[in-house]
């Protein structure tokens, strides 16, 4: 009994964190203005990045979105009710650029660079308009409950969870070529890849074999936290097995350069961020030249010897 309660709790935690929303309480204030405004901003303000911009009527987008949940109970809704919204948009996704994530949303967004480097779901129109919002309905006017919404995925067919499941399903089933998932290798207790996660059960499940050719896991180790998992850990081996079973090639990288240098931008003093590899000495002045590590000390000596021999040979 206790075991099954614990299992349920961990399943709940994994799923809840996927698109958990910041605000507590009811629906986001001014949600209609925000959704319409984001839709207009996506069309007319935001740089296009890698995605074509759909020629969408933003009032109609709000009408289709809100009709799926306003004037209704927040739980037990019909999952197909978002289809009017998601399918007509059908924004084409560029090959090799799709970026999935689990427990790494903020970092993923920095890596994606607002859809210019990679395309996470929040860079598509449908993900962009809904990102970080809270919503739920009530049967009485105005049809939106601004006082209280059930927490994300706290009941069956909870309206926000259903939206993100439908959007994620659309997003994954339209990905092409090589795709990536950003996973968290520093979760204190959890696993980087959980088979109950939205990434596993909705996104990976909907990748098309033959059209998606490769999935690369970018396993992020926060520089200031203990490493909890590596590419050899069980959950990453599970992921590898699940990806290969779909006939999609698999690779796993721990803090590859594109990840590491972004992490280092925030924590430049971390030991991992010091350039202490002779092969990587930048061609510019390294400042005070203070020797901070034995490897750097060795580099300085080698550099000194090299320079001395140049000077000596020039003197001849």
Ligand X SMILES: *[C@@H]1O[C@H](CO)[C@@H](O)[C@H](O)[C@H]1NC(C)=O
Cβ proximity to ligand X: between 147 and 313 the closer is 147
Count interface residues toward ligand X (CB under 6 A).
28
Task: For residue 42, give the nearest of 180, 34, 151, 202 by alpha carbon.
Answer: 34
Choice from 7, 29, 53, 148 touching ligand X (CB under 6 A): 148
Place of tokens 């097995």: 241
| 3-class DSSP state of 295 | helix
Choice from 114, 131, 178, 242 touching ligand X (CB under 6 A): 178
The CA-atom distances, in angstroms, between 88 and each of 18, 125, 149 are 25, 12, 28
With vertex at residue 46, the alpha carbon angle to CA 43 and CA 48, rounded to the nearest 5 degrees, is 80
Q: Which residues of 233-266 are buried (b: 16+ CB within 10 A; e: fewer)?
A: bebbebbbebbeeeebebebebbeeebbeebbee
Choice from 147, 288, 294, 313 touching ligand X (CB under 6 A): 147
Would you count residue 184 as binding ligand X (CB under 6 A)?
yes
- H helices of 253-293, in order, are 257-266
> What is the C-alpha to C-alpha distance for residues 275 and 117, in angstroms, rounded to an integer?
25
Least distance (Å) between residue 95 CB and ligand X: 4
Would you count residue 297 as binding ligand X (CB under 6 A)?
no
Residue ranges with strand state E in the chain: 99-102, 177-184, 212-220, 249-254
Would you count residue 255 as binding ligand X (CB under 6 A)?
no
Cβ proximity to ligand X: between 77 and 168 the closer is 77
Would you count residue 145 as binding ligand X (CB under 6 A)?
yes
Query: By CB under 6 A, what part of segment 89-118 binds ligand X?
Result: 89, 95-96, 103-104, 107
Tell me, residue by residue from 120 to 139, as one string, x for binding to ligand X by CB under 6 A and - for no binding: ------------------x-
Tell me, residue by residue from 34 to 63, as one string, x for binding to ligand X by CB under 6 A and - for no binding: ----------------------xx--xx--
Would you count residue 222 as binding ligand X (CB under 6 A)?
yes
Whether the CB-CB separation of 205 and 199 falls below 8 Å is answered with no
Least distance (Å) between residue 297 CB and ligand X: 32
Place of tokens 């901070």: 292
Cβ proximity to ligand X: between 217 and 299 the closer is 217
Cβ proximity to ligand X: between 162 and 222 the closer is 222
Would you count residue 140 as binding ligand X (CB under 6 A)?
yes
Neighbouring C-beta atoms of residue 287, cutoff 10 Å: 6
Site residues (vs ligand X, CB under 6 A): 56-57, 60-61, 64, 78, 80, 84-85, 88-89, 95-96, 103-104, 107, 138, 140, 145, 147-148, 177-178, 184, 186-187, 220, 222
């Amino acid at each position: 009994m206790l075991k099954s309660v614990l299992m349920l709790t961990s399943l709940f935690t994994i799923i809840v964190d996927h698109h958990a929303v910041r605000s507590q309480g009811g629906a986001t204030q001014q949600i209609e203005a925000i959704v319409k405004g984001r839709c207009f901003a996506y069309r007319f303000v935001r740089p296009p990045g890698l995605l074509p911009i759909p020629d969408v009527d933003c009032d109609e987008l709000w009408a289709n979105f809100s009709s799926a949940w306003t004037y209704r109970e927040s739980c037990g809704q019909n999952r197909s009710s978002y289809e009017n919204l998601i399918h007509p948009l059908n924004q084409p996704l560029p090959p090799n650029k799709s970026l999935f994530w689990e427990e790494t949303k903020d970092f993923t967004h920095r890596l994606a660079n607002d859809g210019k480097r990679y395309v996470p779901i929040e860079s598509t129109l449908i993900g962009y308009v809904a990102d970080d919002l809270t919503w739920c309905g009530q049967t009485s006017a105005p049809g939106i409950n601004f006082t209280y919404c059930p927490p994300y995925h706290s009941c069956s067919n909870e309206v926000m969870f259903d939206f993100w499941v439908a959007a994620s399903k659309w997003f994954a089933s339209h990905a092409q070529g090589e795709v990536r998932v950003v996973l968290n290798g520093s979760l204190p207790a959890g696993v980087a890849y959980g088979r109950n996660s939205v990434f596993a059960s909705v996104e990976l499940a909907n990748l098309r074999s033959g059209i998606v050719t490769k999935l690369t896991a970018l396993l992020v180790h926060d520089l200031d936290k203990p490493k909890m998992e590596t590419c050899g850990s069980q959950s990453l081996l599970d992921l590898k097995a699940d990806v290969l079973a779909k006939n999609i090639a698999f690779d796993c990288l721990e803090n590859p350069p594109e990840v590491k240098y972004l992490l280092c931008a925030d924590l430049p003093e971390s030991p991992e961020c010091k350039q202490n590899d002779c092969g990587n000495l930048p061609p510019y002045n390294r400042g005070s030249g203070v020797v901070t590590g034995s490897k750097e000390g060795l580099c300085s000596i080698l550099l000194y010897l090299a320079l001395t021999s140049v000077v000596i040979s020039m003197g001849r």
